[in-house]
Structure 1
Amino acid sequence: MRGRALILVENLSVPLDRRVWQECTALYQTGWEVHVICPRGAKQDTEPEAVIDGVHIHRYPLRAATGGPAGYLREYGSALWHTFRLARRLGTFDVVHGCNPPDLFFLVARAMRGKGTRFVFDQHDLVPELYLSRFGRGEDLLYRAVRRLERMTYRAAHVVIATNESYKQVALSRGGRRPEEVFVVRSAPAVERFRQVPPEEGLRRGKPYLLCYLGVMGPQDGVDYALRSLARLRDEHGRTDWHAVFVGGGDTFDAMVALSRELGLADAVEFTGRIPDEDLLRYLSTADVCLSPDPLNPLNDVSTMNKIMEYMAMGRPIVSFELREARVSAGEAALYAPANDESEFAKLIAQLLDDPDMRRRMGEIGRGRVAGPLSWHHSKAALLAAYDAAVGSR
């Protein structure tokens, strides 16, 4: 056994959180004893304790925040208390691996530091940018508080894991870390999991084309931009030859369903909520164009979108807004509308619907990227190098 690792995550349950689960299994397969503390899921991952593929999972009940920042303060406070409670009874660890948000898990690592534990900070989100993008309150008192917590987390970490080069630059500049302390572990789908299945014409609901959105539905995720773009596709281009499916859930799910009705799209748009992987493969295998409508804001411009990686793994062409890291991920597998321009987004959808050769070519490019330079094989090597650096620093 190479050591004991404790992975802390608050944003999703495990193994639903695919990035965290890939990290867990990679560590276990290379000799680590892996424990995870995370919240319970609503419909899956509901057991308080589980051992899956050798990974020990410890889950706590958590009520997700609603509304403004006060709800998140309650959620994060509860999550931190449960995490401390569970970690205390699990004994000592060589590595505490904290996945943000929130930027609070350094407190757990600090409580264990006297026992020689090393802290690995896995920065899934830039929380200050997330705050600005989600709440639109500017650089107020709470913004300054989350900036301070981020600085404290950087300072406490022995090693930082960044999801892309943009996040690495933040760790070097804002976090004051040295280049040898920061490792880029990109979120990359396991390509063997994203296999093509026969397209199902019934999913198109009698239309020639199927459009697909996959992902979280929060205030910063752009589902509203996608819906308004689809209304423009109908109104400005006279296109009603498509059906659209939105897969996923989140804080704004009900609001987005209501918006689709307000825009007169109720008969053309379907919301599935979260669905099993088998159904996801059915939709993505049938989709003609996939949507990545994340608008330009301080967070989205520098973040890697999991949906883009998964669209590419399924060989689907993508329409995205012009975002720095979206272009790094997708390259020529996507068409890019000017930031937040819904009319141009609709125009690019129409362009792809009319060009099957372009769709096929873009799909092949995307599949090649996630199977090659952006594959999990490279990310796994960086993850293990980060652990070696953390443990070697003792």
Structure 2
Amino acid sequence: MNQIKKKKRGCVIRHDYYPEEKSVHREVIALSEIGLEIHVICLRGPDQASEEIVDGIHIHRVPLKREKGSIGRYLYDYLSFFLLASIKVTVLHLRYYFAVIQVNTMPDFLIFTTLIPRLLGAKTVIQMHEPTPELWTTMSGSHLLIFLLEFVEQISLNYAQRVFTVTEQLKETYVSRGANPDKISVILNVPDARLFESGDISPIPSGDDFRIICHGAIEERYGQDTIVEAASLVKDVIPGLRIHVLGQGTYVEKFVAQIKALGVQKYVYYLGWVTFSQMVLELRQADVGIIAQKSSPYSNLVHTGKMYDYINFGKAVIASRLTSVRAYFDEDSICFYEAGNAEDLARAILSLYHNPNKRQKLARNAASLYHKNYKWDHQRKIYQDVYRSLIGLGEDDATVY
């Protein structure tokens, strides 16, 4: 008589919306592929059910939504979610018994929602997408809370049994502050190419236009103002210049005002928030993608996922010369410019405008590096292997008998 194998269960906690949050989505799919029944605890958006199952993933939403505002507002939201998520994961653990619980930051202290389940036997994993001390310094310009933030970071890393982060530079930073390097694995923040398989991602010729795309959060630290300044410098040389900026953020009002002040309304178009299908269309139509992050303690440690979107779509990338990006890509794969320098960005734009062959070569070289070393297939294997080791999953656990 064949013995029925009981499926192990895992839980992922994230202060965001699911399945909209793509990094969480690709991770839970990867975990389900190795035989885990996955539960997600997250925020509840408008018209979303408090409990549902989507593509086999059990979703448990707490009655909170994400709010932007002052530091006090962020802290209130984080503490509220911490309390509700702590209760939810404890109740669910008593019902299902989770073999492992992963917490995706921010905030770093969210890992302590797992305290009772851990005491009852659950393994704990923390996914550190962003360095909170450096992000705080970059956003506020203040160093007053750095000691406290670094302390919270380190006790969170020490508490977790395994740690994931997004670049070797960020891992080195955590280790330099006292973290154990042996339990930290680097998983690059790259898209799951299967996300685009349902649609066409082939290029759409832009005709006489020279189309540039920049998508993501509209924040001063992401350098959209540098793009507008550069546009004002090259508009007379590139009459068909069309820069499409997609996204939302706290810098939108100043960004739009700058477009008008510099008289580049015919060249820089702010499209706001767009649907996924609209974003794909914009990516297909673009000739070049720009990553315009300014240099900061934060930006030199991380990659933006948007860079990998451009590479995945076969676009040449112009990017500010930051430590973490230069460590993974060279001058033959990315067109670098001095971060925050509009004149140097203008030089890079003109260089790619005048030289289509260079655009193709950069795109081809970046894609080669990406597919050989960085794409999600490679990252997923690292991710899944860590879990197999942590909770004793074998290859046969991917199938339930």
- 1:228 corresponding residue in structure 2: 229
How far is the alpha carbon of 1:198 from its aligned partner? 5.1
Amino acid at match of 1:115: L
| Greater displacement, 365-374 / 45-54 | 45-54
Instruction: Give the CA deviation at 1:267.
Output: 3.0
- Deviation string, structure 1 residues 82-140 (Cα, Å, up to 9, x no partner): 32232233223221111111112221112322111111011100000010111111x20
Partner of 1:53: 55
Query: Aligned equivalents of 1:61 and 1:330: distance in 2?
Result: 42
Q: Alpha carbons of 1:249 and 1:41: their partners in 2 closer, same or farther (altered >3 Å)?
A: farther
Structure 2 CA distance for partners of 1:259 and 1:85, relative to 1, 3 Å: farther
Contact map agreement 2:202 2:313 (CA 8 A) in 1: no
* Distance (whole Å) between structure 1 residues aligned to residue 222 and residue 48 of structure 2: 26
Which whole-Å CA distance do the structure 2 matches of 1:87 and 1:103 have between them?
17
Q: Which moved more, 1:349-358 or 1:371-380?
A: 371-380
Instruction: Return the letter of the residue paired with 1:171.
Output: Y
The AA in structure 2 aligned to 1:297 is: S
2:136 maps to which residue?
131
Equivalent of residue 20 in structure 1, options 19, 24, 39: 24
Counterpart position of 1:391: 391
Equivalent position amino acid for 2:74 in 1: Y
- Partner in structure 1 of residue 88 of structure 2: 86
1:26 deviates by: 0.6
How far 1:238 sits from its partner (Å)?
3.9
Deviation at 1:172, TM superposition (A): 2.5
Asked whether the equivalents of residues 335 and 362 of structure 2 are also in contact (C-alpha less than 8 Å), the reply is no
For 2:176, the equivalent position in structure 1 comes to 173
Report the Cα offset of residue 327 of structure 1. Answer: 2.3
Confirm or deny: 8 A CA contact 2:167 2:302 kept in the other structure: yes
Aligned to 1:353: 353
Q: Structure 2: how far apart are the matches of 1:152 and 1:65?
A: 27
1-structure distance, mates of 2:244, 2:45? 23
Matched, 1:379 2:382: no
The CA distance in 2 between the partners of 1:100 and 1:300, in whole Å, is: 17
Give the Cα–Cα distance (whole angstroms) in 2 for the partners of residues 2 and 367 of structure 1: 38
Matches within 5 A, 1:96-111: 96-111=101-116
Q: Structure 1's 2 and 134: CA in aligned 2 closer, same or farther, altered over 3 A?
A: farther
Whether 2:310 is the aligned partner of 1:306: answer no
Sequence identity percentage: 23
What corresponds to 2:162 in structure 1?
159
Q: In the aligned structure 2, how far is the partner of 1:86 from the partner of 1:265?
A: 50
> How far off its partner does 1:57 sit?
1.7
* TM-score normalised by structure 2 residue count: 0.88
Indicate the SS of the match to 2:109: coil
Q: Which residue of 1 aligns with 2:287?
A: 288
Displacement of 1:346 in angstroms is 1.2
Give the TM-score normalised by the residue count of structure 1: 0.90
Give how far 1:223 is off: 1.8
Pick the structure with greater CA Rg.
2
* Cα distance change, pair 80–314 in 1 and its aligned pair in 2 (3 A): same
Deviations 1:154-190 (A, max 9, x none): 11110111211112212322242142x1111112222
Letter in 2 for 1:363: A
CA distance in 1 between partners of 2:38 and 2:258 (Å): 43
Give the corresponding residue for 2:153.
150
What is the CA distance between 1:65 and its match in structure 2? Answer: 4.2
Q: Which amino acid aligns with 2:104?
A: C
- Structure 1 residue matching 2:20: 3-state secondary structure: coil
- Equivalent residue for 2:247? 248
For the 8 Å contact 1:191–1:371, the answer to whether it is kept is no
Name the amino acid aligned to 1:118.
K
1:155 maps to a residue whose letter is N
Instruction: Report the Cα distance in structure 1 between the residues aligned to 2:251 and 2:44, rounded to whole angstroms.
Output: 21
Structure-1 residue corresponding to 2:44:
40
Q: Does 1:185 align with 2:190?
A: no
The letter of the residue matching 2:173 is V
Residue 350 of structure 1 and its aligned partner are, at CA, apart by 1.1
SS of 1:300 mapped into structure 2: coil
* Structure 1 residue ranges (4+ consecutive) displaced by more than 6 angstroms after TM superposition: none
Following superposition, the deviation at residue 148 of structure 1 comes to 1.6
Cα distance in 1, alignment partners of residues 317 and 285 from structure 2: 14
Change (3 A) 1:351 1:58: same
Measured after TM superposition, the shift of residue 5 of structure 1 is 1.2
Number of residue-to-residue matches in the alignment = 381
Equivalent position SS for 2:254: helix
2:68 corresponds in structure 1 to 66
How far apart are the structure 2 equivalents of 1:50 and 1:227?
Answer: 44
Partners of 1:239 and 1:223 in 2: how far apart?
19
Q: What is residue 209 of structure 1 aligned with on the other side?
A: 210
Q: Is the 8 A contact 1:308 1:330 kept in 2?
A: no
* Matches of 1:55 and 1:65, distance apart in 2: 25
Q: d(CA) in 2 for partners of 1:253 and 1:386?
A: 40
Work out whether residues 101 and 125 of structure 1, in 8 Å CA contact, stay in contact via their aligned partners in 2.
Answer: yes
Change (3 A) 1:14 1:152: same
Deviates more, 1:142-151 or 1:383-392: 383-392
Partner SS, residue 373 of structure 1? helix
**Residues in 2 aligned to 1:110 and 1:351: alpha-carbon distance in whole angstroms:** 55
Distance 1:6 1:193, change over 3 A: closer
User: 1:226 is matched by which residue type in structure 2?
Assistant: I
Name the CA distance, whole Å, in 1 between partners of 2:285 and 2:9.
43
Q: CA offsets per residue over residues 268-317 of structure 1, 9 Å max, x none?
A: 22222332222222111111111100011001011011011111000101
